[in-house]
Amino acid sequence: MSTKISIYRFPSIVYCLLFIVYCFPFVACHESLEDRAERTCREETHRNCPQRLGGEMVMDSITFDRATRTIVHHVTLSGHLDTVTTAMKTSLGANILKELQNQTGNKIFKDAAINFRYTFNSQRNGDILYDFTFKKEDYY
């Protein structure tokens, strides 16, 4: 009489084990959209900030505000950009919106109706010179 145990005698156990082994990694690594946005902003800031965007523009950081579900880009302006003008505000806002509409890297956040905010601070005195917030109806 053989005392060998065959896995073929217990197919339901084998299927359950296979299901657990294959599905567990996907369940264990799930993070909420807010957690992902927060992590992405933190990593992007750590990796690329401060980043010079031109001669007189520096991206200081990117943060995520959970309360308003907004990704916030903090930029410092210097030189001749460090003054408020209506023409500059109109042009800057239009350019940012166009860039946001064409970006594909933020698609997951845009599809989830995350807001995008851009604050431009004066290097001279720290005041907010421009503040743009774009909602889903703006960028889609």
- Which string of DSSP letters, residue by residue, matches 109-126? HHHTT-EEEEEEEETTT-
The pTM assigned to this predicted structure is 0.76
pLDDT of residue 7: 47
Q: Which two tokens stand for residue 71?
A: 């990704």
Rounded CA-CA distance 44/115 in Å is: 17
Read off the pLDDT of residues 90-130 as tens digits, 9 standing for 90 and up.
Answer: 999 999 999 999 988 899 999 999 999 999 999 999 999 99
Rounded CA-CA distance 3/139 in Å is: 68
Read off the pLDDT of residues 55-73 as tens digits, 9 standing for 90 and up.
Answer: 899 999 999 999 999 999 9
Rounded CA-CA distance 14/5 in Å is: 13
